[in-house]
Amino acid sequence: MSEEITSKLTLKENKSTGISNESHDSNVSGLGFNIVFIALRNPVLAVKIMELYKAATSILPDDPKAPDEDYQLALEKLSEVMNAKS
């Protein structure tokens, strides 16, 4: 059995988000949210994030993968987000 690839994500108490990506020596690209920080300032956004989190937790490794063109669009958007935060 191979070891699962993981990455650490750092969230700061005075920031709403944290990012892990390959350009920061991470093995897994990810976005994290300081949900209390966000909820104190924008409760509606915090609820939307939590709803998206709940939807994301239902995605399983055995689920079929998206078509390549859809995945490519998502990667392009992810790249934009990652580059904007660098």
In a domain? residue 59: yes
Question: Which residue range(s) make up the domain with 57?
Answer: 17-85
In a domain? residue 78: yes
pLDDT per residue as tens digits for the range 26-48: 777 788 999 999 999 999 999 99
Q: Are 9 and 20 in contact (CB under 8 A)?
A: yes
Q: Considering the chain, what is the average pLDDT of its residues?
A: 87
Q: Are 82 and 23 in contact (CB under 8 A)?
A: yes
Q: How many domains does the chain have?
A: 1
The dihedral through the CA atoms of 29, 69, 52, 41 has a sign that is positive
In a domain? residue 7: no
pTM of the model: 0.76
Query: Is the predicted pLDDT of residue 82 greater than 80, yes or no?
Result: no
